[in-house]
Structure 1
Amino acid sequence: SGPCRSPDSQELTDVERAIEIVINNFQRYAVKGRKECLTPNELRELVGQQLPHLSQHVCSLDEKIECLGDPDEAKLDFGEYWAIIGEAAKGCRVKK
């Protein structure tokens, strides 16, 4: 039972499962300090391990990570992470 499920919920849709996975990955990689933020280094690790094919095709993703500030100290909240993942997905879709 993840963040998208209620006790009486039925089977999740594909999109709900995908959102749950995006949330779970954010929480798994947000290990330094607070669980509600990623550092740029944590985001880089997440992208490298969870989006290896996508990151190869979306060069602006690495540039965005570089612009976030100190790799170990800057904080990226879930909304900012969601926006970056959305931009990466949009870039991948456009290139198809």
Structure 2
Amino acid sequence: MDAFSSPSSGSSSQPSTEAFMGQLKVQLAQAHAEEFLETIRGKCFDKCITKPGTSLSGSESSCISRCVDRYIEATGIISRALFSSPF
């Protein structure tokens, strides 16, 4: 039985709605995480890395760390505001 087979359907090839929604949620979460990391990489790299090389300097490393922390914090604030407001 694959992820889309309904337990009660036996050999039926019709996906269950519940399994499909679960699979969709996983894929959306993965896509969101990839986009989030790509955005952080782009923004923080552009801001913090002035002379790309084989390793990060101490100031570049600190800048990257602060940039990522602030981006995560800002994303959390925006998410809480969006999901707590009545629609």
Please indicate, yes or no, whether the TM-score normalized by the shorter chain is above 0.5: no
| Higher strand residue share | 1
TM-score, normalised via structure 2 length: 0.33
Q: Which has the higher contact order (CA 8 A, sep 6+)?
A: 1
In our comparison, the structure showing a higher alpha carbon Rg is: 2
TM-score, normalised via structure 1 length: 0.31
| Higher helix residue share | 2
